């Protein structure tokens, strides 16, 4: 990487420096989001650091959370449909059944 050009992780630091000069309250919010994302990455057994892409995507999702239907499926971090399968996994069987039904009825 050329000198003076930060990677996606370094851009988080640059972003926080800019926020500190222009909107200190927003900097504190971004730091809190960054800390929670870093905790999440650790829980995922990832050795990654929070990068600018993950940070900005998360901020956008948080700003639009009321428009996300997934919020209805969780209650205080608990998956409301977890009683369907022990591990909370739904996608494998449901997707396969849907594809089969759609192919049988040729629904498009």
Q: How many CB atoms lie within 10 A of CB 61?
A: 12
State the pTM of this model.
0.70
* Res 24: pLDDT: 94
* Res 83: pLDDT: 63
CB 52 within 8 A of CB 12: yes
DSSP character for 71? G
Structure tokens at 61: 């999702």
* Res 18: pLDDT: 95
* Res 1: pLDDT: 46
CA dihedral 5, 59, 51, 40 (to 10 degrees): 170
């Amino acid at each position: 990487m050329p000198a003076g050009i930060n990677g996606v992780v370094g851009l988080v630091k640059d972003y926080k420096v800019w926020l500190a000069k222009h909107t200190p309250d927003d900097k504190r919010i971004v730091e809190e989001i960054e800390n929670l994302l870093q905790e999440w990455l650790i829980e995922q057994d990832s050795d990654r650091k929070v990068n600018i892409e993950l940070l900005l995507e998360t901020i956008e999702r948080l700003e639009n959370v009321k428009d996300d239907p997934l919020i209805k499926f969780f209650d205080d971090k608990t998956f409301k449909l977890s009683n369907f399968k022990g591990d909370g996994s739904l996608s494998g069987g449901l997707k396969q059944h849907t594809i089969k039904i759609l192919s049988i009825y040729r629904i498009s």
